[in-house]
Amino acid sequence: MSRLRLLSAAALLAVAANSHATSFIVTTDTIVDGLKASSDATSDVSSSFRDDKIVRAARDDAASFVASEGAIRGVKLESALDHIRQQTPQLNATDAQLAQAILTI
């Protein structure tokens, strides 16, 4: 009987270890995909609005916004955020992501 218990415990341990590794891989893939989507969004914004006067004028406000972790929201930044969202309604980026993208222009 002890041999049966030992084999059962080993089988249960193997299944549990495999399940834990699979959930770790799924979690890691989800995080990486989210970071990639965020990076793609900011890249799209920075390349498509490179010559836009409204967006370029918001650089100083974007720097203040990023440096203050969102506490300082300038008028030019608000205008640029509205402008970007009107031009690209399919873009699902946060204000912080857009502000960082403006800084890369």
- pLDDT score of 51: 78
| DSSP assignment letter at 93 | -
- Decide if 55 contacts 105 (C-beta within 8 A): yes
69 CB-side CA count, 13 A: 0
**Is the distance from CB of 105 to CB of 50 less than 8 angstroms?**
yes
Question: Which burial class, exposed, middle or buried, applies to 93 when counting CB atoms under 10 A from its CB (0-12, 13-18, 19+)?
Answer: buried
Give per-10-residue mean pLDDT for the chain (105 aa): 65 60 54 56 61 89 92 94 90 89 85
The answer to whether the beta carbons of residues 96 and 102 sit under 8 Å apart is: no
CA distances (Å), 98 to each of 27, 64, 80, in order?
A: 26, 13, 9
